[in-house]
Amino acid sequence: MKSIRGLIMAILSSATFGLIPLFSIPLMENGNVELQLNLDNVCFYRFLFSALLMGVIVFVSFARKSKGNFSFRKVATEAFALTPKQLGLMMLISVFYASTSIFLTASYTIGGIPSGIATTMHFLYPVFVTAMMILFFGEKFTILKALSVALAFGGVFFLSGASFNEGISLNPLGLLFVLVTIFTYGSYIIGVNNLKAIASMNGMKLTFYVLAFSCLLFCGNIMVKGGSFQPLVTFHQWWNILALAFIPTLISDLTLVYAIQIIGSTTTAILGCMEPLTAVLVGISVFGERLNINQGIGMVLVFIAVYLVIITQKKK
């Protein structure tokens, strides 16, 4: 029963991550140019409001455990206290998490790599996670696990519309950025479950600090670039940014942490293939995009990969 809950958490996490375009595209492609938010501001507001909301949830959760013996200071201390070692490790994995978005975006905005190819190459992170878990953490290698990784990668390749034609030339800088995301996101997933100081932390507290530190990093990113903080002035902007902060950020990150803690880093990483599947379905149902043969093949491969992961988990 516990492993089933973990599988549901992992699928829910990756599926809700795939909803990011649903709320971010309207913010960046507003009909009124003056009301368009740039990517850096969208990321900053996304993590700012998700961290604030997660902080409230953490505080209320710990307050409920006080059972009538409520003290604001005591509850706040219990809810948010970290040891110096935990603080350092939380900052480290948050850097890995936040920098993934920065480098993946940079790979096709600065590095010039087509987004479909960048997305496909980024999805080599389950291979990285699986290899690291087998080599350094004693996880057992199985044929089903390897097949699941291969099918998931193939599914993402077809879903993202990537095409590695002979004539294409990949910018070395863009390629480096994508390779960095494989390391950073894979390291985040491994770290959550294998760094002893934080592996046993309350999932909500852990998620809060990841969101909060990520917010600070995106704030610093805007300041380093010499950019400005664009104000949210319309109901349309507030609705989309709050929905973005809650559904594909708070819910996604919280369920991701719980999934890693329950079923482990490797299985959770493989089930990340649901993210591009959701993004494609949103594109078809909301933005009027057409389903092509390649995407249909990708869907089938993803579903098979997910099915194999479930079978593997049941055997365990």
> What DSSP letter does each residue of the chain carry, written as one string?
-HHHHHHHHHHHHHHHHTTHHHHHHHHHS-SSGGGPPPHHHHHHHHHHHHHHHHHHHHHHHHHHTTTT---HHHHHHHHH---HHHHHHHHHHHHHHHHHHHHHHHHHHTS---HHHHHHHHTTHHHHHHHHHHHHS-PPP-HHHHHHHHHHHHHHHHHHT----TT----HHHHHHHHHHHHHHHHHHHHHHH-HHHHTS-HHHHHHHHHHHHHHHHHHHHHHTT---PPP-SHHHHHHHHHHHIIIIIIHHHHHHHHHHHH-HHHHHHGGGHHHHHHHHHHHHTS-PPP-HHHHHHHHHHHHHHHHHHHHHHH-
The Cα-based distances of 46 to 59, 85, 244 in angstroms read 20, 27, 6
Give yes or no for residue 235 having a pLDDT over 80.
yes
pLDDT above 90 covers a percentage of the chain that reads: 61
Instruction: Count up the domains in the chain and report the number.
Output: 1
Q: What is the pLDDT of residues 62-110, one digit of tens each?
A: 888 877 677 888 889 889 999 999 999 999 999 999 999 889 888 877 8
- pLDDT score for 54: 97
Mean pLDDT computed over 280-285: 86
Single-letter residue type at 205: K
At 167 the pLDDT is: 53
Task: Specify the residue for token string 């829910």.
Answer: 12
Provide the residue count of the chain.
316
What is the spatial distance between Cα 255 and Cα 95, in angstroms, rounded to a whole number? 19
* Confidence (pLDDT) at 249: 95
Looking at residues 287-300, what average pLDDT do you find? 87
- Tell me the mean pLDDT in the region 295-305: 93
Mean residue pLDDT across the chain: 90
At 164, the pLDDT band (50, 70, 90 cuts) reads low
In terms of C-beta density within 10 A (0-12 exposed, 13-18 middle, 19 or more buried), how is residue 167 classed?
Answer: exposed
Closest CA to 130 of 156, 96, 153: 153
> By residue range, what is the domain housing residue 279?
2-315
190-209 pLDDT, tens per residue? 999 999 999 989 999 999 99
Contact between residue 40 and residue 218 where contact means Cβ atoms under 8 Å apart: yes
Paired tokens of 99: 């920098």
pLDDT tens per residue, range 24-62 = 888 988 777 778 899 899 999 999 999 999 999 999 998
pLDDT at 168 over 60: no
Average pLDDT over residues 266-277: 92
Q: Which range has the worst mean pLDDT, 116-120, 130-134, 166-170?
A: 166-170
Q: How much is the pLDDT for 215?
A: 97
